[in-house]
């Protein structure tokens, strides 16, 4: 009788644990992830698409101070490039990355999305002084600004890591910094699919657009993630956590 009672108790406990586990949420931040570059000393894409890139830059500590866990694009030859990322720029997608400005200068391209490594109307992230802005169609009136990244976190004047993310959906582009929406615009993106990605000084590398002053980006970049869907506000805040 004691053995039967014990077995019944264990069975009930097991069934309860299974039901509890079934109710646990899955990691939604894996859903729709089509490119993930941790930049941990290499240019590997950690998704099933395996669109591994090429990189020539110095390794750098990440936002947690861990050595060789990000890249510093501060020289004329610093760049990262990958190809055929399966998104459409004029539909629904999310682009997420961490960035640290190491110098406050004018007119340096930080990131580009191109098609077949051609440029003209290609979307870019540019640095201007202590700010960056997104140009979806390479037209100045469509700029989406982020002001004063050096002061976005902790109220300091010291360069620090910031999480930057934008979403494109329903003809609307939204920009977030550290999980907070900072700008929103209706803009027309080029009809690019299976795009190429460039980080750093693409102008000097000859594989994409040309920097305004054709000089190094002077930024550090980490944890690049691209989704083929618009993330929710909860997911965006989760990605921005330190």
Q: pLDDT tens digits for 80-125?
A: 999 999 999 989 999 999 998 887 666 577 888 887 766 555 788 8
Closest CA to 200 of 112, 110, 71, 139: 110
What count of other Cβ atoms lies within 10 Å of the Cβ of residue 29?
16
Question: Can you give the pTM of this predicted structure?
Answer: 0.82
What are phi and psi for residue 233, nearest 5 degrees? -60, -40
219: β partners = 73, 101
User: What is the per-residue pLDDT across 25-43, written as a single tens digit (0 to 9) for each?
Assistant: 447 899 999 999 999 999 9
Q: Map out the domains of the chain as residue ranges.
A: 27-239
The CA-based diameter of the chain, rounded to the nearest angstrom, is: 85
Which CATH number is 27-239 given?
2.60.120.200
pLDDT for the residue 131: 81
**Could you tell me the pLDDT band of residue 156, with boundaries at 50, 70 and 90?**
low
* Confidence tier at 212 by pLDDT (50, 70, 90): very low
């Amino acid at each position: 009788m004691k053995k039967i009672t014990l077995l019944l108790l264990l069975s009930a406990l097991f069934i309860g644990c299974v039901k509890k586990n079934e109710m646990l949420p899955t990691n939604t931040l894996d859903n729709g992830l089509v490119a993930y570059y941790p930049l941990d000393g290499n240019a590997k894409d950690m998704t099933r698409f395996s669109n591994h890139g090429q990189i020539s830059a110095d390794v750098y500590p990440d936002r947690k101070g861990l050595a060789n866990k990000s890249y510093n694009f501060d020289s004329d030859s610093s760049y990262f490039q990958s190809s055929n990322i399966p998104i459409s720029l004029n539909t629904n997608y999310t682009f997420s990355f961490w960035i640290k400005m190491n110098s406050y200068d004018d007119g340096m391209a930080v990131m580009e999305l191109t098609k077949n490594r051609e440029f003209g109307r290609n979307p870019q992230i540019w640095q201007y002084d202590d700010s960056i802005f997104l140009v979806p169609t390479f037209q100045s009136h469509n700029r989406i600004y982020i002001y004063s990244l050096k002061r976005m976190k902790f109220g300091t004047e010291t360069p620090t890591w910031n999480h930057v993310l934008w979403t494109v959906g329903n003809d609307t582009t939204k920009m977030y910094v550290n999980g907070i929406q900072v700008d929103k615009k209706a803009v027309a993106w080029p009809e690019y699919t299976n795009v190429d990605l460039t980080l750093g000084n693409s102008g000097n590398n000859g594989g994409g657009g040309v920097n305004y002053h054709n000089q190094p980006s002077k930024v550090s970049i980490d944890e690049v993630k691209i989704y083929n869907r618009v993330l929710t506000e909860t997911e965006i805040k989760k990605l921005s956590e330190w």
